[in-house]
């Protein structure tokens, strides 16, 4: 059985990489690391299959326990800007005024957006120039601006 263990470790490596490629949750990359080490050990003459298995379990467990929290923390802290974030700070023209009880509409870069005043008690009239201060969902938060 020892002469065929390299095929098993190579299979585990390939399968765990495929699973990792399909998911984005870091579930099997650690088993890939353990199977690579076990694959290397399988080529050492005289090493039995259960030693390779122990090495696989130890390496996979160590990388899982040691690296997963660090990798998850690194991935969670990455802020991904979108093209909507580029609108913040730009000026636009209100094509429909907004009041305390009604959303307005703003035209920015040829696109019409729903708008709400940063100070919701302040009404903004139609054709007034406003500055975009934030994005809330699909609405732009605006304040009166200057040309």
Encode the chain (147 residues) as per-residue pLDDT tens digits: 778 899 999 999 999 999 988 987 777 888 999 999 999 999 999 899 999 999 999 999 999 888 878 877 777 766 666 777 788 888 888 999 888 888 899 988 888 899 998 887 788 888 888 998 988 888 899 988 765
| Rounded Cα gap, residues 60 and 120, in angstroms | 55
Token couple for 105: 């509409």
The domain spans of the chain are 2-76, 83-144
pLDDT at 73: 77
User: Which letter, b or e, does each residue of 90-119 get, where b requires 16 or more Cβ atoms within 10 Å of its Cβ?
Assistant: eebebebbbeeeeebbbebeeeebebbbee
Pairing of strands 111-117, 139-144: parallel
Please tell me the pTM assigned to this model: 0.51
For domain 83-144, the CATH class is mainly beta
pLDDT at 86: 80
> Which alpha helices (DSSP H) does the chain contain, by range?
5-22, 29-42, 49-76
């Amino acid at each position: 059985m020892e002469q065929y263990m390299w095929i098993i470790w190579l299979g585990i490596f390939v399968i765990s990489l495929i699973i990792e490629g399909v998911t984005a949750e870091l579930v099997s990359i650690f088993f890939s690391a353990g199977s690579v080490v076990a694959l290397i050990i399988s080529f050492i003459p005289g090493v039995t299959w259960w030693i390779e298995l122990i090495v696989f379990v130890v390496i996979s467990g160590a990388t899982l326990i040691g690296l997963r929290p660090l990798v998850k923390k690194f991935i969670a802290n990455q802020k991904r800007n979108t093209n909507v974030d580029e609108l913040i700070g730009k000026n636009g023209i209100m094509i429909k005024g907004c009041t305390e009880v009604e959303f307005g509409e703003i035209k920015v870069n040829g696109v019409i957006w729903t708008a709400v005043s940063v100070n919701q008690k302040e009404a903004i009239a139609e054709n007034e120039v406003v500055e975009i201060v934030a994005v809330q969902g699909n609405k732009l938060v605006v304040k009166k601006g200057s040309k």
